[in-house]
Every structure is written in structure tokens, then in C-alpha cells.
Chains A and B, each alone.
Chain A
């Protein structure tokens, strides 16, 4: 009967209850939308990074991970070949690309800058990365021109360079010898990550080999069938790697992306916490009003012998019921509107510049994250529990004799 009383009491003051129920539902709705939006944004950024450069995992020599020098190669050509074959044996590996990576300098007529030079095999990158799609001017090593280089838009702007201009690249080979060569800009790329664009330029591995007289491989980028379970897949491959070679997932290779992932989780719980805090006070206010209005009744119940525990439970049940009614509505609303948004996307074109610096596209497609439905549900119950405490305390403090008379 406690449940019956609680249920009917909620509907005694319809407008007031509807207001508080609506606010709970809206709070949950907003929370879920923020969650969907954040996950969409983050996954977009991750997908872009994985697609363009990171791959799902990368193999390096252990010494390269300690200090990325030119000498820290993966092994001889035959050893690298063996590793590639080993990786491609796994059913979930869709492709691999080998790269040489060197720190060096790019000199333009007016200025010079330290850069990272990534020497790639164009055929393989076309298949395994979306680098060719990031070209905004020129092309991705289409011509047979020797010594062509592709630089980022940001670097081009900084150095005042354009297509077909010449630059001088300075590298250090595996033996520590310095080499220099003149390269022509045949392409300009632009990814979502402007910082990346400023620091990295691409050349062909074949050109590098001719310039320094050594065909080096520092990195094998591995592409999986899908991003799900990247850590597990990487661990599986890791077990098969020869000594001295280390395979790391994108999250470990690019800690800043990994941090963003972890930080987002914390931030979302914080945002939910703030929403719940606002709801907490709304519910407390509602219940205090309800108790104030029912003083006579509560006084009577205490007078005729309802003990404090039962009275407390009665108010607790009534408060929880608010959460149990509004919670599912809010979750349903959040789910539905996230699904709708998934179809059309949220257009943030006006904020494009800032987002692009963070590596985010300007149209965000939110995602459904079912784990968070549970978290939200639990938080609503906890909020309702907390919200019932003060009103229940006020009810228990009523003096039955005075309450019965409505004093």
C-alpha cells in the first residue's frame, strides 16, 4: 500500500509533479545528448587520426621508441619482409605500410624549420591510409618526378611556399652522416590536425634511399578490419613479434588521443554530476512542498502510530518513484534524439577553424553509448535517494499534535 500511496500522492498535485518530472527527464535527455555528441566527436577525431597516419597499430624497433633516431631501424630488408608477412597472417589485419621516419630540416629561401620526414611507399599508402584524400593542391606522388615532397598546408603557409616550389631537405642517415637534397613540392595536404600538418612532410622511400644510399624502415603501420577491440588485437599480434620489435596500438602511439579518450569519460561523468546536482535541488524543493502540504496527514499518521522508519520509507518511495517515472522517459528521449542526430549530424561549420586545430570535423555525428544509459539510470536513483533525505528528515521532525491542527 506504501507504493499505492506514493503513486497517488505524486498525482495529487499534477502540475507540480509534471514540472519536476519534466525537469528530470530533460536533464537526462540533455546528459545523454552531450554523451552522444562527445563520443561522436571523439570517435571522429580518432578515426581521422587512425585513417591518416596512425593506423590501428604500429611496429617499431624498441630502440626507436626510446629515441627515434635514423639508426633505430626495424631490421634488414629480409627481416622487415618477414614481419610484414607475419602480420598479414592475422585474419583481422587488412594491410600494412612500411615507412622510414627521420627528423630533419626543411629550408626555404626565406626560412628554415625542423620537421619530421616520413618516407612512404605511395602504392601501399593509397591502399592503407587516407593520406591521398588529404591532398588539397597537387597530387599524391602521381608523377614519376624524382625528389618530390608533399607538405602540410600549415607548413606551406608558415614558410611562404606553394606548389612546384623547391626546398632543400637535410637528413641524417643511419650512420650519422648528414645529407642534403633539393626536393620539389608536388602536393600540399591538409588533415584535421593542423599541428600535425605543420610538423610532418612526406617523401617517397625510393627517393630517400637514393639520397642517403640506405633503404631504411622504422615503422610498419598496421590497419585492422575495424577499430573495435584494437587493444586485444594488438596484444595478439604482440605475442608473435620477434625480439626487438614492439607493436603498440594507436592509443599508446598517440598518447594525446588516448588521454582525450580517458579525459572524455571523466568529463562526461562530471557533466552528468552537475546535471544531477541541479535535479537534486529541484526534487528536494518538490518534496518539501509536498510534505508541507500534507502536514495534517503526516501528523495523523504519526499520532496513530506510524513509526519513523515507515514514515521515512514512505517519503523515500515517493521520491524514488519520481525518478522511476521520469528516468525512462528521459533515457528514451535521449536515445531517440541521438538516433535522429546520427542521421543528420550537427553542423558546426561556423566553428570550423577551432575544431580543425583540435582535429575534429565540422559536422559531428553523435553516437549511442548504451553503457552510459546504465550510468545515468544509477545516477538518477542515487540523486532521488539523496533528495529524499532532507524532506524525510523534516517530516520526521514534525510534532504530531501541532501538525494535526495544521500548525
Chain B
């Protein structure tokens, strides 16, 4: 039995307004070490809101999120920033790399924030770029790379901080089929070889087809949960 990385209990997120919107409406979920899980559902179903809360980017209205046994919903803003830095890798839809930094610098910047020594940063950045198939592109700036290549830099960056798990929000939405397949190959390889846990929020079938667990979300609720 693998260890539980994330445990979500009775999670609610309500956006107050003229008509209150229950974006996440009572979700309970366990993610264990080494999973490759897709949260799927149409736009507006609440999967991104759920993912943001798992990543400590947003606070739930009620419920708890235990990461490594610790309830992150009780952390203050600054503690949460530090928690994200040490525990979570993020991959965003629009890559969100720093355009003025090279691929290597983008990857090592996270480690700089963790105050790791320079030699370690450079060595690890080089290894990671190699493992995402970007050997030889280390000194290229994001603008000189294709979308797929940029997203692979983003994956390397997400792994640089040695996180407990990686959260990816629609990581393939801007990519063509070849780049998507390529990216998924790399993520699956990292998942298999290093046991890295990946959680996706996506409605892209190309991702869902290759995920080993698919959690379907509709109207803020889990409507099905399959392990393949």
C-alpha cells in the first residue's frame, strides 16, 4: 500500500455573489505516492479550483487538505508560500517561464529560491533538462523554443525543487499532438522511474487516455473515479 500524499476531506469552495456559486461542492479524495491522475471535466466544473486548492494557491470555504498528514488550509499566507516552494511542482497552461532567463536559469531559479548552492543548481538543472529531452538547448531563452519545448522546460522547473507531487493545469492545451505525446512520454517516464506523483486538471482526451486514474468532476462533485 503506497503512502497517501494528499488527502482531501469534504472540500467546499463557494464564491459569494448575488447567486453563490459552489465551485467545489463536497469533494473527498486521496492521492497516493506515484499516481498519474487526471481530474477531468468540462470547463467550469471546478477542476481547476480544486487543483489550485490542492496546490495551496487558494483557500477552501470549508473542509481540509492534508499533505503529508498536515492540514495546509490552516497555514498563513507566508507559510503557504514556503510550503509551495518546498512541496509542490507546478506546470501551467501558458508555460509561464521567465522570458529573460535561459532554460537552465529558469530551472535553477526555483532552487535559488530554496537557497541551494550554485553547483547543485547548475548540475541538477542540466540533468533535468536532459531528462526532458532538451540537452543542447540549455542556453536558449523561452522565445527561442517551441511551445512543446517550453512546456518541457516548465516540467523540468516543476521537478527542480524536489517536490512531493506535481500539479499541472491544462498543460497540453496549447500544444499540438506530437508535442503533447512527447510531453506525456516524459512525464510518464519520470512517474515510472522516479515515482513522481502527477495530478492533472484537464479536459484533453490525449491526457485522459494515458492517465492511470481518472477522476471525473461535474458541478464541483466527483462523479466517477476509475483506476485503469
Contact = CB atoms under 8 A, between A and B. Distances in A.
Interface of A: 1, 4-5, 8-9, 12, 296-297, 299-308, 310, 400-401, 404-406
Looking at chain A's contact residues, is the secondary structure mostly helix, strand, loop, or mixed?
A: helix
Contacts of A296: 94, 96
Nearest to B169: A404
Contact of B96 (A12, A299, A307): A299
A303 B101 CA distance: 18
Contacts of A12: 99-100
A1 B92 contact: no
B90 A303 contact: yes
B34 interface: no
Contact of A308 (B78, B100, B101): B78
Contacts of A299: 96
A5 to B, nearest CB: 6
A308 B92 contact: no
A304 B82 CA distance: 9
B57 interface: yes
B130 to A, nearest CB: 21
Interface residues of B, number: 28
Given A302-B81, A303-B55, A310 B113 contact: yes
B52 interface: yes
Contact of B82 (A1, A9, A305, A405): A305
Of B58, B88, B90, which is in contact with the most chain A CB atoms at under 10 Å from its CB? B90
A4 B100 CA distance: 9
A394 to B, nearest CB: 17
B86 interface: yes
A9 B99 CA distance: 9
B78 A9 contact: no
Nearest to A296: B96
A399 to B, nearest CB: 9
A305 B92 contact: no
Contacts of A9: 100
Given A1-B105, A12-B99, A400-B57, A304 B112 contact: no
Across the A-B interface, the 3 shortest Cβ-Cβ residue pairs: A305-B85, A8-B100, A300-B96
18 contacts: A1-B105, A1-B108, A1-B109, A4-B105, A5-B101, A296-B94, A300-B96, A302-B81, A303-B55, A304-B113, A305-B83, A305-B84, A305-B88, A305-B161, A306-B113, A307-B81, A401-B58, A405-B94
Given A306-B113, A307-B78, A307-B82, A5 B98 contact: yes
Interface in B2-26: none
Contacts of A406: 94
A401 B57 contact: yes
Contacts of A404: 92, 94, 96
A334 B58 CA distance: 52
A304 B105 contact: no
B221 to A, nearest CB: 21
B188 interface: no
B73 to A, nearest CB: 16
A401 B81 CA distance: 13
Contacts of A308: 78, 81
B112 A1 contact: yes
Contacts of B58: 401
A303 B109 contact: no
Contacts of B81: 302, 305-308
B113 A303 contact: no
Nearest to B98: A297
Contacts of B113: 304-307, 310
A308 B81 CA distance: 9
Contacts of B110: 304-305
Interface in B62-116: 78, 81-86, 88, 90, 92, 94, 96, 98-101, 105, 108-110, 112-113
B190 to A, nearest CB: 18
B95 to A, nearest CB: 9
Contacts of B55: 303
A110 B149 CA distance: 101
A307 B113 CA distance: 8
Of A9, A12, A304, A308, which is in contact with the most chain B CB atoms at under 10 Å from its CB? A304
